[in-house]
């Protein structure tokens, strides 16, 4: 008999598939994913070993009759350009989180949900969970709405909700997201094909890059948190895109130089750097994979699929 009955929304996507990989051997998993950017092939081994896959949206969760011990809600449209192209996705996200929270209320099921460090846009680092976010873009507003609804359900209905503010996540299965994948993944893919990676502005914008296995660790740890909580999921260190390209040149063995273009996006996020003290103190999370190790792991992963 396996451990817990767990539902993962968006479980065939980038982060979701890595979470499924980290859970399915010891637990009874169900995955629901609309395959917008996810792929069943990302979790083929898990499905072959009994993980139940349902093609559907997060808004379908409330209709499910299974009784889960935990829900990980990662099935949220995950990149700012998606929302610029279709602002109605904000409504889809709110519909989805409300359905998930209603299920959690009805079944007394703890919920861990994906949020974003983009909430800190325009705020001086290091970024702490207690800041008051500004108004910046559709994507950020959708995630703020998820967090606030989570807090509301916790206050009104005693639902345990942990909102995880992911910083710049990269790693296994990210390349499948194409233009929506992490900048490190896009740059590495381009450089391995001897193409120049495109950088907006001068490349001095900085990111707190966190490897996906560390994100999985944080998600698992947060499942036992009580009440409503927000946790940063990052490393506490940031690197400029120019520094990242230098590291990628060494790893890929290429001298491909980036192409710098004029910044085309309003309210672009210039710096992210997590204050990780709360996550370390309350759920025992500390990122373990350095950027150099993570880039080597990513390179090996991409190379093996070519």
Reported as a single tens digit per residue, the pLDDT across 119-146 is: 999 999 999 999 999 999 999 999 999 9
- How many Cα atoms sit within 13 Å of 193 on the Cβ side? 11
Reported as a single tens digit per residue, the pLDDT across 7-44 is: 999 999 999 999 999 999 999 999 999 999 999 999 99
pLDDT at residue 1, as a whole number: 40
Rounded Cα–Cα distance for residues 271 and 276 (Å): 16
User: Which CATH number is 5-170+211-234+275-287 given?
Assistant: 3.40.50.720
Rounded Cα–Cα distance for residues 244 and 172 (Å): 18
Q: At what angle do helices 138-157 and 89-107 cross, to 10 degrees?
A: 20
Residue 202 in contact with residue 243, Cβ under 8 Å? no
Ranges of the chain whose pLDDT falls below 70:
1, 306
Determine whether 43 is exposed, middle or buried from the number of CB atoms within 10 Å of its CB (0-12, 13-18, 19+): buried
If DSSP codes are grouped into helix, strand and coil, which group holds residue 229?
Answer: strand
Spans of all domains in the chain? 5-170+211-234+275-287
Nearest to 166 by CA among 129, 127, 114, 112: 114
């Amino acid at each position: 008999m396996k451990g817990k009955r767990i539902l993962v929304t968006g479980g065939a996507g980038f982060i979701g598939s890595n979470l499924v990989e980290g859970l399915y051997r010891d637990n009874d998993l169900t995955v629901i994913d609309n395959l917008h950017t996810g792929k069943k092939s990302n979790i083929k081994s898990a499905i072959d070993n009994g993980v139940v896959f349902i093609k559907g949206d997060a808004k379908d969760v409330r209709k499910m009759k299974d009784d889960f011990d935990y829900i990980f809600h990662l099935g949220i449209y995950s990149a700012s350009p998606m929302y610029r192209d279709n602002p109605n996705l904000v409504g889809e996200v709110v519909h989805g989180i409300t359905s998930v929270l209603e299920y959690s209320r009805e079944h007394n099921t703890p919920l861990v949900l994906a949020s974003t460090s983009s909430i800190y846009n325009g705020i001086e680092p290091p970024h702490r969970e207690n800041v008051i976010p500004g108004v910046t873009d559709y994507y950020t507003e959708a995630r703020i709405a998820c967090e606030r609804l989570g807090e509301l359900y916790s206050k009104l209905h005693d639902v345990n909700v942990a909102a995880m503010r992911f910083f710049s996540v990269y790693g296994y299965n990210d390349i499948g997201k194409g233009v929506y994948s992490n900048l490190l993944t896009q740059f590495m893919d381009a450089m391995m094909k001897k193409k120049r990676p495109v950088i907006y502005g001068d490349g001095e914008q900085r990111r707190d890059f966190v490897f996906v296995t560390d994100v999985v660790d944080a998600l698992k740890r947060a499942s036992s948190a009580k009440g409503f909580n927000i946790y940063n999921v990052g490393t506490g260190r940031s690197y400029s895109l120019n520094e990242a390209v230098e590291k990628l040149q060494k790893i890929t063995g290429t001298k491909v130089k980036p192409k710098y273009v004029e910044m085309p996006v309003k309210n672009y996020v210039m710096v992210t750097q997590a204050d990780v003290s709360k996550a370390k103190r309350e759920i025992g999370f500390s990122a373990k994979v350095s950027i150099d190790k993570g880039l080597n792991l990513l390179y090996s992963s991409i190379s093996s699929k070519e």
